[in-house]
Structure 1
Amino acid sequence: MPQLREFIKRNMPTGLRNAVVDVRDLFAAPALEDIVLHDYALAPDADARPRLSLVIPSVDPAGAFGGVTTAIDIFLDLCVRTGAQARIITDDFERRLDRSFIDRRAAGIGLDPASVEIARRTTEVPTIQVRSRDIFIAYNWYIALNVRSLIDQQAAHFGGAPRPFLYVIQDYEPLFYRLSSTHMLARLAFDPGRPCWGLFNSSQLHAFFEAQGHQLEHSYVFEPKIPRGLRPALEAGPIAKTKRILVYGRPQIPRNCFPAVEKGLRLWAARYPQFADWDVASAGLTHKPVPIGAGRALRSLGKLPLEDYANTLRTTAVGLSLMASPHPSYPPLEMAHFGALTITNRYANKDLGPLHDNFISIPDIDAATIAHALAQACERFEAEPDIGWQGKSRMPGYLDPAEWPFLSELASDLKVVWDR
C-alpha cells in the first residue's frame, strides 16, 4: 500500500494533485495548540494548608506508560515527605473516572488513596479552587503553559510574588513536532516567564536541554530506576531464554521509529536466513501483524500486564528499542537489565552503550545497520545462551530500591516556599 500511494503521488497530474491537497487541507485538524491550550478560572479557597496539585492529561490506567507512572510517583512521594495535601487535576475530558491506578500507586507507598483528590475537567475553561499555598506540578508542555494563568491569578488574588511551579521534564518535547507554531510553543514551555523548577528524567536529557539555551530557576536531575513492579521478577534470578527478538513497538508514536524497525527486520530476515527459527514479537501498543518476509511476521503482544511483560523480558534473548530523543527511554534499560542483548540508537549526546554490557548502541537507524546489529546479537546468543545474564550494569542507581536522592532536597525546598 505505501508503494502504491507513492506511485500515485509521483504520477498524478499537477492540477489533480493540487486539488487533492486543497481537499485535504479543508478537512485537516486544527493546530494542536488550538485544541490543548486553554485558560483556567480561579475560585479562591481560604484553606491555609499546603497542597500539591499534579496536572496531567488523564488518570486512565490504559495510558499509564513509564513517563506517566514516574510523574505520579514523584508527586505522591512529595506529598508524603512534605505532608502536603494531594490533588490531581485532569486536563482531558474523560467519560468516566477510573482511579484504580492512582489508588494502587498511593497505597504502595503508604498513602491513603482516599486522601488523593481528583478534580476532573468538565468545561472548556475549568474553574479550579486555589489556595494561597497551592503549588502546581505540570506533566507536559501544554499543561505547563496552561497553569501559568492559575499561577498569575493566585498571585493577584493572594498577593506576593508568583509561587514556583514544578515541571516534570521527561523528554525534549519540541522535537515531537515539525518546525511550526506547535514546536515554538513547546519551546516556550521551557522558558515560561514564571518561577519554574524543572525535574529532569536523566542527566542526558538535562544536558541536551541546557545545550538548547534554556535555563530554569532550579533544576533537579534524577536517573531512571527499574519500576517497582518489575523488581520481583528480576530478583527471581536468571532462567533459560528463548530465541526471541522483542521489539518496543508503538507505530502510533513517531519518536519510536517503527518504520525503521519494520525495514530493519525485513532486511535481517532476508540477509540472515540462518535465524529463520527466531520468534519476532512486539510489545507496547497493539498493531496488526507486520510481514517481514518468507512467511514470517512481527506479531503484536500489545500493552502487556506487568507480570506478563516481566515474564516476557526474562525469556527474551534479544531486544530492539529505538528512540528519536535525547531521553534514554525505559524499554531498552529494562531489556538490557533482564539479560537481553539490546539494540538501541544514539541521539545527540545520548549513548546507552556505556551503561550496560548488553547494549549494542548503533549510530543510525538505517535498515542495514539494524539488520547487522540484530544478526550480531543473534549470533552471540546462539554461541553463548546465557551471555545476556552475564552482562553487567554500570547504572548503580537503577537497581537501588531507595527513592531518588533529589526528592529529599526538593521536599525541603518546597517547605521553605510554603513557610515564606
Structure 2
Amino acid sequence: MSERARRFFAFWRANGTAAIVRLVRTKLAAMVAGEPVLNEIRPQSKLSVDVTELVLRKFPNIQPLPTYLTPRPKLGRVSLITDSIGKGSLFGGVGTALIFAAQVANRTSSTLRIVVRTEAPVPKNVAQVLDAYGIKLDHEVQFSFVPVRKSDGPSASEALASLDIFPGELFITTSWWTTAAALPSVPRASIFYLLQEDERMFYPFGEERAQCERVLRTQDIRFIVNTRLLYEHLIDSGLDHLRKKGRWFEPAFPRSLFHERTRELAGKKRFFFYARPNNPRNLFLLGLAVIDRAVNEGVLDLDQWEVLLVGKDIPGVTLGNGNNPQRCEELDWQAYADLVGTIDLGLSLMYTPHPSYPPLDLAASGAVVVTNKFGNKKELFDYSRNIICADLDVESLVQALREGVALANDMETRRRNYSANTLGTDWSRAFNETFDLFTSNV
C-alpha cells in the first residue's frame, strides 16, 4: 500500500466517513481554484509510525463506527451493537443484551437491528435465544455486519461496510469498546450502555484500563446496569454520575426454562463446575484445586458424585486417584438448561462484584451452589439460601463445599430454600425500572 493510501485509510479510520466527504469537497474546491490538491509526502523512516496509526493498532475496535444518515422511516429502530452472536458467544451477557434489546424494541414499537463487529451474524442463533425465553418481536429483526478495520487498511468488504442511521434511532452498546466506537458516530443522547460487569477489572493497570475508565466516566450517555450489587459497587468506585444517568435490573429465570429435571433415583448425585480457563476472572485453576482437595479429603466421594466440567476450551484433567470428569462444552440454551436442572451441587467462581449467571441459573433450577465473596458481594441470600458464599481461598471454599454437600443431601431444607427463592422469572418485568431512561431527559 502506498504512503498516500495508508494515510487516507488512517484518516478514515480516525475520523469517519463524514470527514472524508468534507475532505473531498475541500480538495475539489481547491482543484477548481487551481490550487495544489495533494500535500507533499516527505520520506519517512520505515520504522516510524504516526500516532493515530499506533493507537489504532493497539485499539482497532474503538475506531469510530462508519455511518451515514438516512431519512427517518415510519417505524423507529433499536440497534444493538455487539461483537458477535456466534453460538459460543450467546450465554450470559450477550443473551441478556438480546433479550433487553428485544424488550426495548417492543416497548417503543420499533424494529430491532443487531450490529456485529467481529464475525458475520447468524440469525438463527438470535431466534434460538428469543424462542427459549418465549419472546416474540412485534416487528422485523435486521442484521448488519460492520467489521472492525485492520491497521493495514480495510479489505474490500470492510471498506464497503457502513451503518445507516436516522434521527431518533436508539443504540444499545454492550461493552466499553462498542460504546467508544459509537460515541463519535451517533448522537450521545441516543446511546444506552448495557453494563454487565466492572469492565475495568478485565485488565491490569495500563492502557486498556485507562481507555475503559474514560468511557465509563462519560457523562452524557445512559447506563443500564446488571444487578443492584454491580450498580452499588460502580457508584462506590467513583462513578457517581450513575445515580442520575443509570438504572439497574435483576436478571430473570423463567420457570419454563429453569426448573428441576427428572433424574434416576438410584444414580449418582451430580456436581457442576463452571470451567472457563480462558476467562481469568472465573479462576479455573483455583476451582480445580478446590475440587481436587475436596475429592482427596472425601468431601466429594466419587462413588456418590459425578463431576461435570461445564464451559469452554476445557483441557483434560484428572482428579484424586485418576478420575476423569466429564466435559460439557458448546451447549445450546436448551441443552444447558436441561443439564443445570439435573445438578445437585455446583461450584462457580467469579472474581468480580457481579454474582455471574451460573450460580443464579443453578439456584433457579433447584441446585445448591458455592461461589466466592468479592467486595460488596458478601452473601447472596437475597436471591436464594441455596447459594453459599465463601472467602477466596482453598480452605474456605472446601469448607463451603462440605456445607454444600450436606445441604444438597438435606432434601427437605434444600426444597424449602428453593421454594423461597426471590429470583425473578419474567424478563419483561425485570426491565420495568429501566424504561424511564428511554423517555427521560436526564
Aligned partner (choices 303, 314, 318) of residue 291 of structure 1: 318
Q: 1:405 to 1:229 in 2, by over 3 A?
A: closer
Q: Evaluate the alpha carbon distance shift between residue 252 and residue 83 of structure 1 in structure 2; reply closer, same or farther with a 3 A threshold.
A: same
1:390 partner letter: R
The match for 1:11 is none
Stretch deviating more after TM superposition (283-292 or 54-63): 283-292
Which one of 87, 91, 107 corresponds to residue 81 of structure 1? 107
- Contact 1:283 / 1:303 at 8 angstroms: preserved in 2? no
**Match 1:325 to one of 339, 348, 352:** 352
Q: Would you say how many aligned residue pairs link Structure 1 and Structure 2?
A: 369
Q: Which residue of structure 2 lines up, in the alignment, with residue 300 of structure 1?
A: 327
* 2:362 is the counterpart of 1:338: no
SS where residue 68 of structure 1 aligns?
Answer: helix
Q: Please point out which of 36, 45, 60 is paired with 2:61.
A: 36
2:116 maps to 1:119: no
Shift of 1:187: 1.4
Instruction: Look up the match of 1:14.
Output: none
- Measured against aligned partners, the alpha-carbon deviations of 1:327-362 in whole angstroms (never above 9, x if no partner) come to 111111121232222111111001344232212210
Structure 1 residues 302 and 352: CA distance shift in structure 2, 3 A: farther
Distance in 2 separating the partners of 1:273 and 1:257: 21
Q: 1:272: which partner in 2?
A: 298
Instruction: State the alpha-carbon separation in 2 of the partners of residues 294 and 31 from structure 1.
Output: 50
Q: 1:402 to 1:147 in 2, by over 3 A?
A: closer
Q: 1:138 touches 1:166 (CA, 8 Å); kept in 2? A: yes
Whether contact under 8 Å (1:55, 1:89) holds in the other structure is: yes
Report the Cα distance in structure 2 between the residues aligned to 1:87 and 1:122, rounded to whole angstroms: 16
Give 3-state SS (helix, strand or coil) of 1:150's partner. coil
356, 373, 398: which one pairs with 2:400?
Answer: 373
Q: What does the per-residue CA deviation read over 1:336-391, in whole Å, with 9 as the maximum and x for residues that have no partner?
A: 23222211111100134423221221022x22222222233224444x35543332
Deviation at 1:100, TM superposition (A): 0.6
- Measured against aligned partners, the alpha-carbon deviations of 1:143-181 in whole angstroms (never above 9, x if no partner) come to 111100112xx5xxxxxxx42410001000000111111
Structure 2 regions of 5+ residues with no counterpart? 1-54, 150-158
**Partner Cα separation in structure 1 for residue 57 and residue 184 of structure 2:** 19
Deviation at 1:300, TM superposition (A): 1.2
Structure 1 equivalent of residue 175 of structure 2: 140
Other structure's SS at 1:404 match: helix
Choose 1 or 2 for highest CA Rg. 2
Deviations for 1:204-243, whole angstroms, at most 9, x for unmatched residues?
Answer: 0000000111114521110121157624x44x78985742
1:399-410 equivalent positions in 2, closer than 5 A? 399-401=424-426, 403-404=428-429, 406-407=431-432, 410=435
- After superposition, give the CA deviation of every residue in 1:278-297 in whole Å (9 maximum; x if it has no partner): 22111121412211221113
Percent of aligned positions that are identical:
23
Segment of structure 1 superposing worse, 340-349 or 241-250: 241-250
- CA distance in 2 between counterparts of 1:331 and 1:401 reads 18
2:232 counterpart residue number: 207
Normalised by the length of structure 2, the TM-score is 0.76
Contact 1:288/1:299 (CA < 8 Å) preserved in 2?
no
The amino acid across from 2:191 in the alignment is F
The Cα shift of 1:394 comes to 5.5
Is 1:128 the counterpart of 2:163? The answer is yes
Separation of aligned partners in 2, 1:170 and 1:402? 16
Stretches of structure 1 lacking an aligned partner (at least 5 in a row)? 1-29, 155-161
SS of aligned partner of 1:269: helix
Distance apart, 1:413 and its partner CA: 4.6
Matched, 1:351 2:354: no
Identify if the C-alpha distance between structure 1 residues 387 and 291 changes in structure 2 by more than 3 Å, giving closer, same or farther.
farther
2:287 corresponds in structure 1 to 261
Q: CA deviation at 1:120?
A: 0.5
For residue 339 of structure 2, what is the aligned residue in structure 1? Answer: 312
Aligned mates of 2:351, 2:427 — CA distance in 1? 30
Aligned partner of 2:389: which letter? S
Query: What is the CA-CA distance between 1:135 and the residue it aligns to?
Result: 2.0
